[in-house]
Structure 1
Amino acid sequence: MATTFFPDLTRPDGGTLVIGSRHAGDAGRQRRLVEADTAALDAMPWPAGLAAVGWFASTDGQTLLTYAQWADGEAADAGARDGRLPAPLATAPRYRLHRSLAREDETRAPGCLITAAFDADGPERQRHLIDRLVAVQPVEGGHPGAISAHFLLSEDGTRVLLHTEWTDIEAHREAAEAGDHDAGHEIMSGTPGVRLTHGGRYLPHHGLIRPTA
């Protein structure tokens, strides 16, 4: 089923996240990349173990981010061996959810995605960075536009991805201008063994959910 959605990173049938990033150059190229990916999926039976795919377009038109949610690594391996799937859906870096922060009563639909990606010198540094970032997050009283934060670890121990969901881009800008992110930025830049590589602002572009029988 086609829709526009944010992936549910906590869904039990999507524990392995294959997350790919591609340079597009402009909004038209972003759209064409999504069209090519969806055409490839339409031309084949829905892959076993693939729960959902979400495409996100960076607000500057430069990047297309793809989240493919697989049941587990074996299912992603089978998808990669098939050879018909676009590479970002099966052979990009693989992540698993490590921590999530969200109010239990949160029901709002996110309007934008903010990411920060890091290289890490092994699993201990991955977890150490996340523990420090979680420790400085406000339990309550944060910016009202912040909906949730998810901390993802690459399965090979070399990457961390911070995935935060906001009501809209303006809310994130307001929080940044108010200094809400300053403590987190100090940790990101000053923690030994981890290096911030890139980040971005994204809007949901397209999504596909596993067809129901």
Structure 2
Amino acid sequence: MTAFKLAAVSAGLSKPSSTRLLADRLAEATVRRLGEEGREAEVAVIELRDLAVDIANNFVTGFPAAALREAIGTVTEADAVIAVTPIFTASYSGLFKSFFDVIDHDALTGKPVLIAATGGTARHSLALEHAVRPLFSYLRAVVLPTAVYAATDDWGTAGDALTDGLPGRIERAAGELAGLLAGHGPVAEAAVPEQVVPFAEQLAALRV
């Protein structure tokens, strides 16, 4: 049984980066949850900060440099993608958006994508729903229900009786991704498209 290929895309700009840390935590949790299902996974991490110049040049020349071409191949050939961006001005970073702009718009069709983001305060968390999720929905990816946002104050917290802390959100999202890849669970069932009955057949049935 072949190992799953996971591509973790981090758009963090600093080094070390909380965005990269969140990507690593999500990847580690997913690999562990898959291991509990008896499945193996290999993780390739893509640091977009190292590809910033290549991405800009690709827009000008129309051709990706070798490093960017390799990164694009890693994402498009992966079984699933973990995409993590810092939130700037209530949206994803320009570097994050630019990377997915240079990928063929059909390359992520049907591919599971776990979205996550980091930011200074919790008030930016809705950017995952109004900006990041629509981006991958437009690319026809299968976006996991749980999106993980990590504010500065979230690191090291355990949550309370009403909300999960960051570790709990990471575990829930990783469990959804592992379940989808393993081919069972409510997320996998929801991802199966319903059979569409042609309109002509529906009309014919009404006339009988």
Tell me, yes or no, whether TM beats 0.5: no
Structure number with greater CO (CA < 8 Å, separation at least 6) is 1
Q: Is the strand fraction higher in 1 or 2?
A: 1
Which structure has the larger Rg over C-alpha atoms?
2
TM-score, normalised with respect to structure 1: 0.28
TM-score, normalised with respect to structure 2: 0.28
